[in-house]
Amino acid sequence: MAKDFYETLGVAKDATADEIKKAYRKLAMKFHPDRNPDDASAEDRFKDVSEAYAVLSDEDKRKRYDTVGDSGFHQQFSTEDILRDFNIDDILSQFGMKSSGWGFGGGGGARGSARGGRDAAGGSIFDMFGGGGRGRPGQQQQQRQQPRGRDAEVPLTVSFHEAMKGAERSLTIHMDGGDVTLTIRVPAGIETGKKLRAKGKGHRGPGGPGDLYLLIDVAPDERFERKGDNLHTTAAVVPSTLLLGGRITVETLEGEKVLRVGPGTSSDKVLRVRGAGAPILGKTEARGSLYVALVVRVPETLNEAQIEAANALLAAEL
């Protein structure tokens, strides 16, 4: 379920770095597991506020989070990615607290796994604090010393329709001498060059499998050209519509739409349809714009009435 990191820390979206730090300090002290032994709900809250602070206290991560929102952010970064350079020991020591060696590791990064992210198939990408038990320190250390398998990267071409509407795809990938079948969710608004991550679907290793990254290539569409979150298309109009004004029908992602053309419109006019462009990745219901370039359609042959009208127009222009 999507989380709002600002709401998690109880701060406004324009909160200063100092306000964010103070809010985290207050909540970390309140929910720290050492102060709430055997309280699973407090431990969960501590995990959530720590993840929120790891993002909002980092200028670059915060800017990206503000741009794409929570869903889009977690499609690009797992909680493992978020916490990789976040040293909880250093942070808590500033507040006179210790991590007690349970959920985060020193030297930056998380000891167990992260709860927040979602993989390409909609499942948990990284289980930040383990599956309910903390485990003995010796066991954790032994597990950390085992190397993970290599990550795998596989190209995946999706149709323009799938990229615009979102879709589920069933894939079979040959890896490590066998076939791996998985179902992935293609989010609406995905672009060429983006990657979808399936946790634990990469090459095998003694410390567990690596991750699988699907490198997205969106097939072109004959009707629309995508530029960022906007779509561009053309519409043929007859000269009389440009001269006198009228209505034209254009194609959109949601079907045909009627647009008004004002009298005296030139053939290089571009009409803008707000909210009819590409879905904005990670932002529910948000869409770019559709830009429609008007192209004059002239008949290959003219009847007598058309010839007379053209001659009358020519005479008027002289």
Q: Which pLDDT tens digits describe the chain residue by residue (318 residues)? A: 457 899 999 999 999 999 999 999 899 888 887 787 777 788 888 888 888 898 898 888 888 888 888 777 776 776 666 766 566 655 665 555 554 443 443 333 333 333 333 333 333 222 222 233 334 444 444 445 678 888 888 999 999 999 999 999 888 888 888 888 888 889 999 999 998 888 888 888 888 888 889 999 999 999 999 999 999 999 999 888 988 899 999 999 999 999 999 998 988 899 999 999 999 987 768 899 999 999 988 777 777 887 777 777 767 765
Predicted confidence at residue 107, as pLDDT, reads 35
Q: Treating both helix axes as pointing N-terminal to C-terminal, what angle do 59-76 and 40-56 enclose, rounded to 10 degrees?
A: 120
Own/partner pairs for 265-271, CB < 8 Å, 24+ apart?
265/241, 265/294, 266/242, 267/242, 267/294, 267/295, 267/296, 268/293, 268/294, 269/293, 269/294, 270/294, 271/235
Contacts (Cβ under 8 Å, ≥6 apart) of 303: none
Domains in the chain with CATH codes? 1-117+126-145 (1.10.287.110), 147-220 (2.60.260.20), 225-317 (2.60.260.20)
The type of residue at 138 is G
Beta bridge partners of 152: 212
Residue 318 CA to residue 304 CA, distance in Å, equals: 21
Predicted confidence at residue 275, as pLDDT, reads 93
Question: 232: burial class by Cβ within 10 Å (0-12, 13-18, 19+)?
Answer: middle
- Other CB atoms within a 10 A radius of the CB of residue 212 amount to 26
pLDDT digits (tens, 9 = 90+) for 145-160: 678 888 888 999 999 9
Predicted confidence at residue 143, as pLDDT, reads 47
- Other CB atoms within a 10 A radius of the CB of residue 67 amount to 12
Predicted confidence at residue 96, as pLDDT, reads 55
Residue 115 CA to residue 52 CA, distance in Å, equals: 12
Verdict on whether the full-model pTM lies above 0.85: no
Predicted confidence at residue 64, as pLDDT, reads 85
Residue 130 CA to residue 195 CA, distance in Å, equals: 26
Predicted confidence at residue 106, as pLDDT, reads 35
Predicted confidence at residue 140, as pLDDT, reads 46
Judge whether 128 and 116 are in contact, CB under 8 Å: yes
Predicted confidence at residue 38, as pLDDT, reads 72
Q: Calculate the alpha carbon distances from 221 to 23, 65, 243, 281, 301 in Å.
A: 48, 30, 31, 19, 31
Look up residue 86 and give its two tokens: 């976040």
Residue 73 CA to residue 78 CA, distance in Å, equals: 8
